[in-house]
Amino acid sequence: MLTTIWNFLSKLSGRMKGEIIGILIIIGLCFYTYSLYTDYQQTKVDKERFETNFNNSQFGIDSVRTKNGKLVYSVKSLTLKVGEFEKMKFDNENLSKELKEMNIKLKNVQSVTKIEYKYLYKIPPDSITIVKKNDTIFQVKFEDNWLKLHETISLVNNCNNIKIDSLGLSLTDSVIIVPEVLYKSYWIFWRKPTGIKVNIKSSNPYFNLDKMQTIQLIK
């Protein structure tokens, strides 16, 4: 390629040759300047990402109550490259290893969210129904919109001990998980994305979120 260009230039007059060489030098300088600017911008983006990840590394849980009294939890996400995600451990667990065990390819993954939660029930005693089937067998029942509990209890050893013959438990819930892009405004008409916040809402009033870890993966 260079030989062909040099042969072409050798056939030109001295003035034209100088002009073309000058243009090529200017083009080369433009490409070099653009490369430096691109590297600078990428370094700036990475620095901002590292700072945001550091601030969000504890996965602090925020919560607000809606007009109908239900809680909405939110956690700000980490933004990691695939290689960073593969090396990082969360609570001494390697999530990338778990995904591989699930036959999921990381290159196809956009985000990972791990949730730890429990249901805290306080059942009023007067809400429990006890039906006596005979002198030694009783059926215990509790039902509302979210929990159904059925239990059969027997009295054994001359009614000195209690034996659970059967226990049925049914829990109902519906969970909404919504990722939300966070922006920082710089001008009236211009704003810049700064991260991701994941919101979660349960329809079950007994739902209690203990921990949520969420990671956005970038290439």
Edge-to-edge order in the sheet of strand 161-171: 129-132, 137-143, 147-156, 161-171
How many domains does the structure of the chain reveal? 3
Average pLDDT, the chain: 82
Residues 180 and 93 in one domain: yes
Q: Is residue 91 assigned to a domain?
A: yes
Residue 8 lies in a domain: no
Boundaries of domain holding 193: 58-119+174-218
* pLDDT tens for each residue of 98-138: 888 889 888 888 889 999 999 888 888 888 888 888 878 88
Residues 102 and 64 in one domain: yes
In a domain, 73, yes or no: yes
CB 139 within 8 A of CB 150: yes
Is residue 71, in this structure, part of any structural domain at all? yes
Residues 113 and 183 placed together within one structural domain of the fold:
yes
Q: What is the pLDDT of residues 149-189, one digit of tens each?
A: 888 888 778 777 777 778 788 889 999 999 888 888 777 77
Mean pLDDT within 135-142:
85
Cβ atoms of 216 and 75 within 8 Å: the answer is: no
pLDDT confidence of residue 29: 79
Is the same domain home to 185 and 111? yes
Shared-domain flag, residues 167 and 138: yes
Q: Do 190 and 89 belong together in one domain?
A: yes
112 with 183, same domain: the answer is: yes
**Is residue 82 over pLDDT 80?**
yes
Q: Are residues 62 and 103 in the same domain?
A: yes
The pLDDT of residue 74 is 92
Do 52 and 152 have their domain in common?
A: no
Whether 141 and 128 have beta carbons less than 8 Å apart is answered as yes
| Confidence (pTM) | 0.69
In a domain, 40, yes or no: yes
Task: Compute the distance between CA of residue 133 and CA of residue 146 in angstroms, rounded to an integer.
Answer: 26
Least confident of 43-47, 140-144, 150-154: 43-47
- On the question of pLDDT at 199 being above 90, the answer is yes
For residue 50, what pLDDT band results from cuts at 50, 70 and 90?
A: confident
36 lies in the same domain as 113: no
